[in-house]
Every structure is written in structure tokens, then in C-alpha cells.
């Protein structure tokens, strides 16, 4: 049996164990590949536009029932989902590695993130608080009530094939909404597996309306049918800024709601006072982890001239020696790129870097699993100035390094890109740290100190500004996007005073 057979065989066994029906991933037209070996592992039937419409109708019917279930009871369903995910963690984590190419600890980490958001959402199901508001009228009470919103459509990217669904689903369900998920066409199997796991939780829960959680397999056209359906109250779309530019205006045109989680071009700043050992490790994980395929991957690094020669040569050494390999059969830290397109985009960006005078270390294809898989040595590019390919997100492990001397100037450069997702500063200087976190500092949704740009916890709101789309998911008060706010004024007096002293006596 060849190694290539092994990946398919393993995926088959996992899908069987997790209870995914064979008909859902065989005999269809959508081919799914493992980036680990490049081999085709499944052919999935895809949803038609009519299927999308039918799914939305089922979800709408489910909404009418589910919104009446008390929120803490809805939380019980998510508690059970958390239990099922704990039981399935090893299998689902490995399937993430098979389908998205992540190293094993990151595949497992992604499932842990699903478990964490379930715990968070269970607590939240008893805390969907509204305010009581002081009213200017005697004998009146004013308050706000949060109600379930409606059908939530989730469109997700390949690089977090399951966590993004769980962030949205755990919150949407406790908030009283059904979910329809259109996963990336590059990672459909982990979606089917997640749905099978959720179905087990729903069975244990008992009285769940049919259509509360559905998965539609397909590409952008299937996502588009969700986007254009006026009965989908909220479209939570994670992916490239290119996709968001299409999706955002379409949903806005029908006055629907969006959570847009789009591309990032995240930077770190290393100041003269930084702990360089710590910075080195954080940058290495932030820039090379997940083979540079996280939305929060560190893509730009500004290093102060006084520490440049201490840090950058060490960083280059780390790039030259980092282990690259099959994530299923080795302990390598860097796995494959998702496909040839990603490899080609990386090479194009490296060529552009060279043509503007950049010095490239790394970036060559690594021979790991034959011609169909795309492993690459991460690249460091020392740029003479912050320009060219550094201004755009290339979804591959390229770190652009630029020397700086002036702190105010580097803040300007830091913010001078379209995306605004994550950022970090390495410093032990209180003034620099606080300035970076202040109104004139980082313009990103996430700003870190002495840690890298990636690896967020679920407790905080996750998302970014500008071309990253402005959406927030996961922790803090992100739940509010999944509910509608109603302001209530109750008059318990015998009079009818009008606000602002208006008189209207009849």
C-alpha cells in the first residue's frame, strides 16, 4: 500500500467512525484533495441553487420553533455539542490535518477552540443581557430586549475549516437562530464530520427542529445563493477580501446583516528595548506556523536599526533550519501549502520582491511528498522600503522585513496597508507599548504586546478593520450580531406624558 493510499484510507476510516454517510462524500462532482500528498480523497455531491432555497425554508421553519426555546435550554444543546467534540477531538483534529494540511497539534488545537467556544456559549446562554434605561417620563420604564435574529448563513475559508463554523454556530444557536453552513470547497469533509458530530448532540438533546443546522457543499455559487436569499438574516462570511467585496454589497442591498472576516496583512514591530529571544520565537510561530496560512499570520516585520543585526540573522537561521514535512507522519513544524495556486502566488510575490531590490532567503519548493503536494521553505524578504508585494496579503509563508529608525514613522507604515486584522509590538518600554495600543497606534482589530499576531483565544472579540471587513466573532459581546435589539417603553402610570415635553391634548 502506498503512502497516498494511506491518507485516503485514514480519511475514510475517520469519516466512518464519525458517522458521515458514504453517499455524502462519494459519487459526486466536487473533488476534494489532501494537501498532505495532493491525492484526491473524495468526490462530493454538491448543492444546487434549488437545494439552497429548500434549506433556507427548512431553516426558517426551525427558527419559528427554536426562538421560543428558553436560551439556557438552547445552551444545553451547545453543552452537548462540546461533549461530543471532546469525544471526537482526536479524529476530527486529524481530519483537519488531512484536509487542510495543518500539523497535528494545530489540527487538535482547532478542535480545542471549538470546545472552548461551546463552553463560552453555554455560559452566555444565561447572560444575553439587555439594559434598563433611565426614562425622563414619570411612571415609565425603559429597557432593551434581545431577540433571536433569524437564519444565519455561514461561509467559511479553508484554513480554519471547522473553528469558524463553531464560533458562529455556538453563538447563533444559543441566541435562538438556525445555521446553514457553506464550508470552503477545499475542506468539505471536515464540515460533514462536524455536522455529524452536532447531529449526535441534537439526538441526545431530543426535541430539536429539523433544519436547525444544515451543511451545503459547493463553491462560491452555492455561497452566493445564500447571500442573495432575503430570508437569510445574517451572512457571516470568512475568506478573502476579494470575496467580501462581492458578498458585502449584495447583502447590504437587501438590508441583510453581515459579519465579514476577511484578509489580513499583519505586522510586528521590534523596538530597541525588546526581549529579542522572546520576539524571535513569537515571530517564528506567527510567520511560519500553519505554513503562513492563517488570517493572522505575521506578514510584515519592522525592526529598529539598533537591533536589526542582532535579530534578523537569527531569524534567517530559524527559517533555514525549520523542519518541513508531512504533518501526518512527522513532527515537522511546517506542513504543506493548500495547493498549487498558493505556491504560484508565493513565487509571484517573491519575484516582485526581487525586482524591487529585496533580498530573499528561502521560498523554494521542498520535495516532501512528490509532485502533487506543495511544500515550501518559508521565506524571509528583506526589503529596502515598505512597498510592493508587502502591501498585499499573499496567503503563504513570506515575511517582509523592513528596518526603521523613528517610532512615529513606523506607526504610520504599520497602518499603511488595506487590511486591519492583527498586529503586535515587542517592547519593554511602557511609552511605546501604550502608544501602540492608543488611538494613534495600531489601527487593527487585534493589537498585542510581546506576543505574535496569531493564536487568538476565544474569549476576545475576533476580527479586524478596513479591508478585513469590520466583523467581530467569538468572545466579548460578539453575540449581539446574532440577535436583534428591541427598545421597550412601558407606561405603568395613569397619565400619558410625551417625551421632550411635547403637548398633544385632544
Q: How far is the CB of 185 from ligand NAD (least distance, A)?
A: 5
Contact 274, 266 (CB under 8 A): no
Q: If binding is defined by CB under 6 A, does position 194 make contact with ligand NAD? A: no
Residue 353: in which H helix or E strand, if any? Answer: helix 340-355
Measured from the CB of residue 13, what is the shortest distance to ligand NAD in angstroms? 26
Which residues inside 26-55 make contact with ligand NAD, applying CB under 6 A? none
Catalytic residue among 106, 261, 382, 432: 261
CA distance 178 to 193: 18
**DSSP character at residue 334:** B
Q: Which of residues 411-430 bind ligand NAD (CB under 6 A)?
A: 421
261 catalytic, yes or no?
A: yes
- Does residue 224 touch ligand NAD according to CB under 6 A? yes
Q: Based on CB atoms, which residue is closest to ligand NAD, 99 or 261?
A: 261
Cα angle 482, 133, 75 (rounded to 5 degrees) comes to 30
- Please report, for residues 194, 331, 424, 456, the alpha-carbon distance to residue 277 in angstroms, rounded to integers and kept in the order given: 39, 23, 16, 21
**Ramachandran quadrant class, 450 (left: phi over 0; alpha: psi -120 to 50; beta: rest):** left
Nearer Cβ to ligand NAD (6/48): 48
Alpha carbons 377 and 363: distance in angstroms, whole number: 5
Among 93, 101, 211, 223, binds ligand NAD (CB under 6 A): 223
How many amino acids of this chain bind ligand NAD (CB under 6 A)? 29
DSSP notation for 474-497: ESTTGGGGGEEEEEEEEE-SSS-P
Stretch that binds ligand NAD, among 108-116, 141-149, 223-231, 384-392 (CB under 6 A): 223-231
> Residue 130 corresponds to which cell in the numbers above?
439587555
Looking at residues 244 to 263 of the shown chain, list those that interact with ligand NAD (rule: CB under 6 A).
Answer: 246-247, 261-263
Applying CB under 6 A, does 96 fall inside the site for ligand NAD? no
Secondary structure of 139-201 as H, E, C letters: CEEEEEEEEECCEEEEECCCCCCCHHHHHHHHHHHHCCCCEEEECCCCCHHHHHHHHHHHHHH
Complex with ligand NAD: residue 97 or 435, whichever CB lies closer: 97
Binding mask 487-506 for ligand NAD (x = CB under 6 A): --------------------
Contacting ligand NAD within 287-316 (CB under 6 A): 295
Residue closer to ligand NAD, measured from CB, 137 or 340: 340
- Site of interaction with ligand NAD (CB under 6 A): 155-160, 182, 184-185, 219-220, 223-224, 227, 238-240, 243, 246-247, 261-264, 295, 393, 395, 421, 468
Amino acid at each position: 500500500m502506498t503512502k497516498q493510499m494511506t491518507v485516503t484510507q485514514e480519511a475514510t476510516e475517520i469519516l466512518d467512525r464519525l458517522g458521515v454517510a458514504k453517499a455524502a462524500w462519494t459519487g459526486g462532482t466536487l473533488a476534494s484533495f489532501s494537501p498532505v500528498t495532493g491525492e484526491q480523497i473524495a468526490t462530493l455531491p454538491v448543492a444546487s441553487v434549488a437545494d439552497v432555497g429548500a434549506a433556507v425554508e427548512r431553516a426558517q421553519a426551525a427558527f419559528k420553533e427554536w426562538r421560543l426555546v428558553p436560551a439556557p435550554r438552547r445552551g444545553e444543546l451547545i453543552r452537548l455539542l462540546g461533549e461530543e467534540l471532546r469525544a471526537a477531538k482526536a479524529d476530527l483534529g486529524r481530519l483537519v490535518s488531512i484536509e487542510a494540511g495543518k500539523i497535528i497539534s494545530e489540527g487538535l488545537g482547532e478542535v480545542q477552540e471549538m470546545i472552548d467556544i461551546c463552553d463560552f456559549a453555554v455560559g452566555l446562554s444565561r447572560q444575553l443581557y439587555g439594559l434598563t434605561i433611565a426614562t425622563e417620563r414619570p411612571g415609565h420604564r425603559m429597557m432593551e430586549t434581545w431577540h433571536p435574529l433569524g437564519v444565519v448563513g455561514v461561509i467559511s475559508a479553508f484554513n480554519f475549516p471547522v473553528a469558524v463554523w463553531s464560533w458562529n454556530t455556538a453563538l447563533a444557536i444559543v441566541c435562538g437562530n438556525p445555521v446553514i453552513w457553506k464550508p470552503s470547497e477545499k475542506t468539505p469533509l471536515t464540515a460533514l464530520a462536524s455536522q455529524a458530530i452536532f447531529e449526535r448532540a441534537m439526538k441526545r438533546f431530543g426535541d430539536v427542529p429539523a433544519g436547525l443546522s444544515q451543511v451545503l457543499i459547493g463553491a462560491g455559487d452555492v455561497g452566493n445563493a445564500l447571500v442573495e436569499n432575503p430570508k437569510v438574516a445574517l451572512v457571516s462570511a470568512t475568506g478573502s477580501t476579494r470575496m467580501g467585496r462581492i458578498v458585502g454589497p449584495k447583502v447590504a442591498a437587501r438590508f441583510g446583516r453581515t459579519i465579514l472576516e476577511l484578509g489580513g496583512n499583519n505586522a510586528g514591530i521590534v523596538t530597541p528595548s525588546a526581549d529579542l529571544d522572546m520576539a524571535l520565537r513569537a515571530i517564528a510561530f506567527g510567520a511560519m506556523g500553519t505554513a503562513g496560512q492563517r488570517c493572522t499570520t505575521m506578514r510584515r516585520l519592522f525592526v529598529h536599526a539598533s537591533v536589526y543585526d542582532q535579530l534578523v540573522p537569527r531569524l534567517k537561521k530559524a527559517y533555514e533550519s525549520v523542519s518541513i514535512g508531512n504533518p501526518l507522519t512527522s513532527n515537522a513544524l511546517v506542513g504543506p501549502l493548500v495547493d498549487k495556486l498558493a505556491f504560484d502566488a508565493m513565487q509571484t510575490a517573491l519575484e516582485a520582491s526581487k525586482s524591487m531590490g529585496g533580498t530573499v532567503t528561502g521560498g523554494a519548493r521542498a520535495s516532501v511528498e512528490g509532485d502533487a503536494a506543495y511544500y515550501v521553505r518559508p521565506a524571509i524578504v528583506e526589503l529596502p522600503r515598505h512597498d510592493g508585494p508587502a502591501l498585499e496579503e499573499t496567503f503563504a509563508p513570506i515575511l517582509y522585513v523592513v528596518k526603521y529608525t523613528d517610532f512615529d514613522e513606523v506607526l504610520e507604515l504599520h497602518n499603511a496597508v488595506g487590511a486591519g486584522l492583527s498586529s503586535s509590538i515587542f517592547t519593554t518600554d511602557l511609552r511605546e507599548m501604550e502608544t501602540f495600543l492608543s488611538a494613534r497606534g495600531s489601527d487593527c482589530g487585534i493589537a498585542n504586546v510581546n506576543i505574535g499576531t496569531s493564536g487568538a483565544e476565544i474569549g476576545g472579540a475576533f476580527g479586524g478593520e478596513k479591508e478585513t471587513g469590520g466583523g467581530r466573532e467569538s468572545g466579548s459581546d460578539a453575540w449581539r450580531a446574532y440577535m436583534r435589539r428591541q427598545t421597550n417603553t412601558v407606561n405603568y402610570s395613569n397619565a400619558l406624558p410625551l417625551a421632550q415635553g411635547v403637548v398633544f391634548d385632544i
